[in-house]
């Protein structure tokens, strides 16, 4: 399919492609979201394929009882929507009986439920009335016809925004938006405390602790894939602070500075609060830089983390960017990161996987960042790869993780130098 | 709607992928949304295939619906043909595309691709992976043999057969094919075609050349075999050579069809199983209570091996293969148990908990269940896990397969003995309470509390993390309920009974304690007396 180059705001041509996408759908987000919100249950209304996808992405998880499941549509559910709704109510009431610990239930739409037009928002309202106030029922779509991979988190968080309580006190506060590993959240909390900025995190660890929105709420995105969540928050009057994303020393510094500026924290305070962590991160990066400097890297689209990660690798580790592919490019949210990419970097949006593989083979990069379906075959062809999914499941944000993040890219290269077989 | 956490089988189009991925010169154009491309990783990560599955997904989106999804399908099919130049194209729909009714089968015939286009269609809301594989193999066999006339006379040369059923992502298929090919060679029988593993469409066209067929995996190979019998009069060997006895029967059955003498091969069986199982140290295997669950082919075989070759007692068997339900029920009746035909892993788990076997022979799901219940377990069937593709040669079929099975099944029991010793000496100063049985790994003790702890990272093992190196699997851990339902009677022991218990030899003491407590709980006996202890003993003896 045709790739059209269009001039963008920063005059960078974006390669837009619409062919086969080799990316997970939004259901995948359940794998990390259910670990984050500890009293929420995710019920996918879908097919056996949906159940199999989550199972394959979740891998060998050994949890006492995972807080997700799939209500697999059967032939008879397709016969009539009334029956499908009745079935859904039956499945949900059984589930709620068995799991009294659930406070928030997400009905997660899939391709099949969207195509048969099963209205999950009405179902959620109906079930909320029936099960409230003990259990709240929300819905969002993680379907592959509407969402890629991380957009599932976006849809999930956006569905929670109307639930955020309003607090009329003019208290100013900061909301950090995007699911972060608890360890990262705690580090950020300590830094914001030291800066004197009142901060809340969204999503919260428990659904009963939703952060309030006040007229003065400002928010910082911690993840680059939260377009609809940001939009929903803005609709409710919260103001987004623009910043590069908090990866690497530069990104994390800019991110905290954006907050500090909005909350009137003196520059000297910011500098002294961040300095120790920056120092540690620099030392950690220094050890990896020599392994990565000058190496050429190629990103296949996956998590939408590609642009800020490319910025980090190019500016702080001196890697050379061959192509930065991303499933969806949010020009506004990614503007500050895009502006920091070298002018000659090819940025591509969407995918035609076969054509992209052709470009990749022709470019012979030193490292390819790609999904699990592509990694081993590319290794066989002689290209070193880094699985992109690990970037979503590993703590990589902030100062303390900057070294780990760099290490993730260095390890495949290091391995190749060791092996003699 | 069926509430499901983990599934034994994927959707039918994944079965179709297993067949086409196993073949050469075939490309599959699948009308499906982007998320369905996850299926590629099953082959590249779990099986570690070196090339991507030959599948083009149309990855249509919501905005295409009602407009040009059929157009996208046409374009994808044409582009896939141009790029890969296959000898044959398979077209079909995944569950979502089935609903939008673009008719890939019809379109496939009209887009002017100059090679055969074979449609495969399933009811994705009814059928599952093995059905998909079976149906695809059957369709391909039918399409490729179209116009091939039935032989009036057999060609000169040694007797030959086809092996039907092996696919990509199959449980030990790779090594089984090697083992059975060798065994057949010993009998002087050549393998004409293996379908589908490694076959091209031209190879499938040669299927009718063989004298007979061998069905290795019934769930996948039986429909194709039936078709070949009907159309070409080829008989099929139905004994699956799993275990020593079945392999002997297989040899006889093959020899009869090939008109060769089986005796030279039968007289020099080189399996160690018959001796090992007779050696005195195997005495303790006698009457071990086993529960068996998996696909139909492997469960039927495992029940025979368990009883006839290891001297176990089958206390329950079941399968998720509904297509073999009749045979499974018959086998269950033969062993005096009921067959559990179910794809609900919770039901399987409840059954295991209730039967409390001494060994579980199951899938990766049962492995996790057994781990939680503290029972030894060996894996005998798909769904596959990265561990089911070992680097070493490790067939299940034939005499070498029987050796592998002996080791695989007995190993957890030996370890189980070690566990008994460990719990026996648990109170000794050298053994802390925290020391878990070594074969369960360091996780065994900790796992139970995982959910209770706050998560440190959002998803610890969705992808192999550098620390855990846990590979992505098709079969993750199933749900387990607390072992004791709330409100169950708490049993205590009278000092007298406790003293008596200590007199029981240490290696059976743990079991005696568990059995007695279970016996007491089932009868709401709050305090275990001497009397209870001996009542329980008598109960479990009978
Ligand atoms: S792409 Fe659609 S059908 Fe496929 S797993 Fe995702 S939601 Fe289910």
Contacts of residue A421, Cβ cutoff 8 Å, sequence gap at least 6: none
User: 3-class DSSP state for residue B161?
Assistant: strand
The secondary structure element, H or E, covering residue B3 is strand B2-4
Among candidate residues A64, A65, A87, the one with its CA nearest the CA of residue A75: A87
Number of structural domains chain A divides into = 2
CATH of the domain at A292: 3.40.50.1980
The answer to whether residue A212 sits within a structural domain is no
Question: Does the distance separating the beta carbons of A63 and B462 come in below 8 Å?
Answer: no
In a domain, A230, yes or no: no
Among B96, B131, B349, most A C-beta atoms within 10 A, so best to mutate, is B96
Active site residue B281: yes
Q: Is B542 on the interface with A (CB under 8 A)?
A: no
| Contact flag A47-B96 (C-beta cutoff 8 Å) | yes
- Cβ separation B457–A35 shorter than 8 A: yes
pLDDT of residue B426: 52
Collapsing DSSP to helix, strand or coil, B92 comes out as: strand
Question: What token pair was written down for B433?
Answer: 């309470």
pLDDT at B420: 57
For residue B257, give the H/E element and its range. helix B244-258
Q: What is the ipTM of this complex?
A: 0.93
Average pLDDT over residues A276-280: 96
A97, A100, A102, A106 alpha-carbon torsion, rounded to 10°: 10
- Whether cis (ω within 30° of 0) applies to the bond prior to B200 is no
Q: Is the CB of A398 under 6 A from ligand 1?
A: no
On whether any CB of chain A is under 8 Å from the CB of B126, the answer is: yes
- Closest ligand 1 atom to the C-alpha of A142? 7
Would you tell me which residues 32-51 of chain B have a C-beta closer than 8 angstroms to some C-beta of chain A?
A: 33-42, 44-45, 48-51
Residue A170 in any domain: the answer is no
Helix, strand, or coil (residue B6): coil
**Residue nearest to ligand 1 atom 8, measured at CA:** A50
Distance (Å) from the alpha carbon of A28 to chain B's nearest alpha carbon = 9
Best mutation target among A22, A32, A56 (most B Cβ atoms within 10 Å) is A56
Q: What is the per-residue pLDDT for B468? A: 34
Nearest-neighbour CA in chain A from B102: distance (Å)? 13
Q: To 5 degrees, how large is the angle CA B155–CA B161–CA B164?
A: 140
Hey, are the CB atoms on B1 and A74 less than 8 Å from each other?
Answer: yes
Q: What is the mean pLDDT of each run of 10 residues along chain B (542 residues)?
A: 91 98 98 96 94 96 88 94 97 95 88 94 93 98 94 87 98 97 97 97 97 97 98 95 97 97 91 93 90 98 98 97 97 97 93 94 93 92 92 97 96 71 52 44 38 33 34 41 46 88 74 86 89 84 64
First to last CA, chain B: 42
Nearest one of A88, A38, A97 to A68, comparing CA atoms? A38
Full residue range of the structural domain in which residue A72 is found = 26-147
Residue whose CA is closest, atom 5 of ligand 1? A50
Among A102, A126, A147, the domain boundary falls at A147
Q: Tell me chain A's radius of gyration from C-alpha atoms.
A: 22
Buried b (16+ CB within 10 A) or exposed e, A4-31: eeeeeeeebebbbbbbbbbbbbbbbbbb
The reply to whether A192 falls in a domain is no
d(CA A324, CA A271): 32
Q: What is the pLDDT of residue A291?
A: 95
Name the maximum alpha-carbon separation found in chain A: 67
Using the predicted structure, report yes or no on whether residue A301 has a pLDDT greater than 90: yes
Rounded to the nearest whole angstrom, what is the distance from the C-alpha of residue B37 to the centroid of ligand 1? 9
Q: How far is CA A165 from the centre of its chain?
A: 24
Whether ligand 1 lies within 6 angstroms of the CB of A50 is answered as yes
Calpha distance B215→B197 (Å, rounded): 13
- In terms of Cα–Cα distance, which of A359, A323, A362 is closest to A13? A323
Strands B2-4 and A68-72 come out as antiparallel
Instruction: Note the pLDDT of residue B101.
Output: 87
Residue A185 belongs to some domain of the structure: no
Q: Which residues contact B366 (CB under 8 A, 6 or more apart)?
A: B293, B294, B348, B349, B352, B360, B377, B379
Q: Does the Cβ of A46 fall within 6 Å of ligand 1?
A: yes
Strand extents, DSSP E, B372-520: 377-379, 492-493
Residue ending a domain, among A147, A177, A192, is A147
3-state secondary structure chain A: CCCEEECCCCCCCEEEEECCCCCCEHHHHHHHHHHHCCCEEEEEEECHHHHHHHHHHHCCCCCCCCCEEEEECCHHHHHCHHHHHHHHHHHHHHHHHHCCCCCEEEEEECHHHHHCCCCHHHHHHHHHHHHCCCCEEEEEECCCCCCECCHHHHHHHHHHHHHCCECCCCCCCEEEECCCCHHHHHHHHHHHHHHCCCEEEECCCCHHHCCCECCCCEEEECCCCCHHHHHHHHHCCCEECCCCCCCHHHHHHHHHHHHHHHCCCCHHHHHHHHHHHHHHHHHHHHHHHHHHCCCEEEECCCCCCHHHHHHHHHHHCCCEEEEEEECCCCHHHHHHHHCCCCCCCEEEEEECHHHHHHHHHHHCCCEEEECHHHHHHHHHCCCCEEECHHHHHCCCCHHHHHHHHHHHHHHHHHHHHHCCC
Residues in chain A with CB shorter than 8 Å from the CB of B9 are 48
pLDDT tens readout for residues A76-122? 888 877 788 999 999 999 899 888 999 999 999 999 999 999 999 99
Contact B531, B499 (CB under 8 A): no
DSSP letter (8 states) at residue B31: E
Instruction: Put residue B259 in one of left, alpha, beta given phi > 0 → left and psi -120 to 50 → alpha.
Output: left
Q: Minimal CA–CA distance to B124: which of A354, A78, A281?
A: A78
Instruction: Find which of A111, A148, A368, A374 to mutate to test the B interface (most B CBs within 10 Å of its CB).
Output: A111
Residue A31 CA to ligand 1 centre (angstroms) = 14
Q: A70 CB under 6 A from ligand 1?
A: no
CB A127 within 8 A of CB A96: no
Q: Which one is catalytic: B209, B211, B261, B281?
A: B281
Is A285 domain-assigned? yes
Structure tokens at B49: 């295939």
pLDDT digits (tens, 9 = 90+) for A14-40: 999 999 999 999 999 999 999 999 999
Asked whether the predicted pLDDT for residue A237 surpasses 60, the reply is yes
φ and ψ at B236, to 5 degrees? Answer: -125, 140
Nearest Cα residue in chain B from A31: B459
User: What chain A residue is nearest to B6 in terms of C-alpha separation?
Assistant: A55
Q: Is residue A11 a part of any domain in this protein? A: no
Instruction: Return the DSSP state at B443.
Output: H
CB contact under 8 A, B463 and A387: yes
Q: What is the pLDDT of residues A250-261, one digit of tens each?
A: 999 999 999 999
Q: Which pLDDT score, from 0 to 100, does residue B216 have?
A: 98
The pLDDT assigned to B425 comes to 54
Dihedral angle of Cα B184, B185, B187, B192, to the nearest 10 degrees: 60
Whether residue A244 is contained in a domain is answered as no
State the DSSP H helix or E strand holding residue B138, giving kind and residue range, or none if neither: helix B129-144
Please give the C-alpha separations between residue B113 and each of B72, B77, B345, in angstroms, as whole numbers: 15, 8, 44
Closest CA to A65 of B434, B372, B11: B372
Last residue of a domain, one of A117, A147, A177: A147
Instruction: Give the distance (Å) from ligand 1 centre to CA of residue B35.
Output: 5
In chain A, pLDDT over 70 holds for what percent of residues?
95
Q: Which helix (H) or strand (E) holds B20?
A: helix B12-22
Of ligand 1's listed atoms, the one at least distance from the Cα of A109 is 7
Angle, in degrees to the nearest 10, between helices B398-424 and B506-522:
80
Nearest to A55 among B3, B6, B36 (CB): B6
CA distance B31 to chain A (A): 11
* CA B140 to centroid of ligand 1, rounded, Å: 27
| Contact map slice: B 11-30 vs A, CB within 8 A | 11, 13-14
Whether chain A has a CB inside 8 Å of the CB on B450: the answer is yes
CB distance B36–A57 less than 8 Å? no
Q: Which helix (H) or strand (E) holds B362?
A: strand B359-362
Instruction: Measure the CA–CA gap between B99 and A164, rounded to whole angstroms.
Output: 37
Whether the Cβ atoms of residue A384 and residue A416 lie closer than 8 Å to each other: yes
Tell me the best of A110, A147, A150 to mutate to test the pocket of ligand 1, counting ligand atoms within 8 Å of each CB and taking the most: A110
- Residues in chain A closer than 8 A to B62 (CB atoms): 114, 143, 145-146
E-only strand ranges, B55-159? 55-57, 88-93, 117-119
Q: How many CB atoms lie within 10 A of CB B346?
A: 17
For residue A219, pLDDT beyond 80: yes
């Amino acid at each position: 399919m045709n790739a059209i180059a269009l001039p963008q705001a920063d005059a960078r041509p974006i390669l837009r492609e619409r062919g086969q996408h080799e990316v997970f759908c939004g259901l995948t987000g359940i794998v990390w979201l259910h670990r984050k919100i500890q009293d929420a249950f995710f019920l996918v209304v879908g097919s056996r394929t949906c159940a199999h996808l989550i199972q394959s992405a979740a891998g060998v998880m050994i949890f006492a009882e995972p807080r997700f499941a799939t209500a697999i549509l059967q032939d008879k559910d397709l016969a009539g929507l009334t029956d499908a709704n009745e079935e859904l109510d039956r499945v949900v009431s059984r589930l709620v009986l068995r799991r009294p610990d659930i406070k928030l239930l997400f009905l997660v739409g899939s391709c099949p439920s969207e195509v048969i037009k099963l209205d999950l928002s009405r179902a959620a309202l109906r079930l909320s009335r029936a099960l409230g106030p003990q259990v709240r029922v929300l819905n969002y779509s993680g379907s592959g016809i509407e969402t890629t991979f991380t957009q599932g988190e976006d849809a999930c968080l956006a569905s929670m925004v109307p639930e955020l309580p309003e607090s009329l006190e003019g208290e100013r506060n900061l909301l950090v938006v995007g699911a972060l590993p608890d360890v990262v959240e705690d580090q950020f909390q300590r830094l914001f405390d030291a800066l004197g900025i009142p901060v809340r995190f969204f999503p919260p660890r428990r659904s009963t602790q939703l952060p309030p929105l006040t007229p003065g709420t400002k928010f910082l995105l911690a993840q680059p894939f939260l377009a609809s969540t940001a939009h929903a928050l803005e609709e409710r009057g919260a103001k987004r602070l623009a910043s590069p994303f908090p990866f690497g020393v530069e990104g994390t510094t800019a991110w905290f500075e954006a907050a500090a500026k909005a909350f009137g924290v003196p520059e000297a305070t910011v500098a002294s609060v961040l300095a120790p962590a920056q120092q540690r991160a620099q030392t950690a990066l220094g050890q990896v830089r020599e392994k990565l400097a000058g190496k050429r890297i190629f990103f296949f689209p996956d998590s939408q983390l590609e642009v800020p990660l490319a910025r980090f690798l190019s500016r702080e580790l001196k890697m050379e960017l061959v192509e930065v592919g991303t499933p969806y490019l949010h020009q506004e949210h990614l503007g500050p990161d895009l502006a920091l990419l070298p002018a000659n970097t090819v940025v591509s949006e969407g995918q035609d996987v076969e054509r992209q593989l052709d470009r990749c083979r022709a470019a012979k990069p030193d490292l390819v960042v790609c999904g699990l379906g592509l990694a081993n075959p590319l290794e066989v062809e002689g290209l070193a790869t880094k699985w992109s999914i690990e970037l979503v499941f590993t703590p990589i944000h902030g100062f303390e993780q900057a070294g780990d993040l760099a290490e993730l890219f260095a390890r495949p290269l290091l391995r190749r130098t060791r092996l003699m077989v | 709607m069926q509430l499901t956490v983990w599934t034994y089988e994927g959707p039918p189009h994944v079965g179709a992928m297993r067949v086409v991925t196993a073949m050469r010169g075939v490309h599959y154009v699948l009308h499906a949304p982007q998320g369905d491309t996850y299926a590629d990783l099953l082959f590249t990560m779990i099986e570690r295939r070196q090339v991507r599955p030959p599948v083009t997904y149309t990855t249509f989106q919501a905005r295409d619906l009602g407009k040009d999804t059929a157009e996208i399908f046409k374009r994808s099919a044409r582009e896939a043909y141009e790029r890969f130049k296959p000898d044959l194209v398979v077209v079909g729909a995944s569950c979502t595309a089935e609903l939008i009714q673009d008719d890939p089968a019809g379109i496939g015939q009209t887009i002017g691709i100059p090679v055969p286009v074979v449609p495969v269609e399933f009811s994705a809301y009814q059928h599952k992976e093995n059905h998909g594989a079976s149906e695809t193999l059957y369709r391909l066999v039918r399409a490729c043999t179209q116009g091939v006339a039935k032989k009036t006379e057999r060609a000169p040369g040694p007797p030959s057969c086809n092996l039907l059923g092996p696919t990509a992502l199959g449980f030990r298929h790779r090594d089984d094919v090697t083992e059975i090919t060798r065994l057949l060679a010993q009998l002087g029988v050549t393998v004409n075609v293996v379908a589908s593993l490694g076959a091209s469409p031209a190879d499938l066209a040669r299927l009718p050349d063989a004298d007979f067929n061998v069905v290795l995996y019934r769930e996948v190979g039986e429909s194709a075999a039936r078709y070949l019998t009907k159309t070409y009069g080829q008989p099929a060997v139905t004994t699956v050579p799993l275990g020593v006895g079945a392999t002997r029967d297989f040899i006889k059955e093959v020899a009869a069809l090939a008109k060769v003498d089986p005796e030279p091969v039968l007289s020099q069986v080189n399996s160690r199983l018959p001796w090992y199982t007779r050696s005195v140290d195997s005495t303790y295997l006698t009457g071990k209570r086993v529960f068996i669950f998996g696909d139909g082919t492997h469960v039927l075989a495992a029940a025979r091996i368990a009883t006839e070759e290891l001297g176990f007692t089958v206390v329950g068997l079941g399968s998720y293969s509904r297509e073999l339900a009749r045979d499974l029920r018959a086998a269950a009746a033969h062993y005096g148990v009921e067959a559990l035909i179910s794809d609900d892993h919770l039901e399987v788990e409840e059954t295991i908990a209730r039967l409390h076997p001494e060994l579980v022979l199951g899938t990766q799901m049962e492995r996790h269940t057994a781990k939680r219940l503290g029972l030894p377990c060996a894996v005998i069937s798909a769904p596959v896990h990265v561990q089911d593709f070992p680097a070493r040669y490790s067939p299940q079929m034939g005499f070498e397969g029987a050796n592998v099975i002996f080791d695989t099944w007995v190993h957890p029991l030996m370890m189980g003995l070690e566990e008994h010793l460990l719990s026996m000496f648990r109170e000794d100063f050298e053994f802390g309470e925290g020391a878990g049985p070594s074969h369960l790994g360091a996780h065994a003790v900790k796992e139970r509390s995982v959910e209770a702890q706050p998560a440190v990272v959002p998803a610890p093992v969705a992808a192999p993390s550098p620390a855990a190196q846990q590979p992505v699997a098709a079969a993750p851990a199933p749900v387990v309920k607390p072992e004791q339902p709330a409100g169950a009677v708490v049993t205590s022991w009278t000092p007298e009974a406790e003293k008596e218990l200590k007199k029981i030899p240490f290696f059976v003491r743990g079991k005696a304690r568990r059995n007695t407590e279970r016996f007491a709980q089932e009868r709401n006996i709050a305090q275990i007396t001497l009397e209870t202890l001996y009542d329980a003993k008598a109960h479990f003896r009978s």
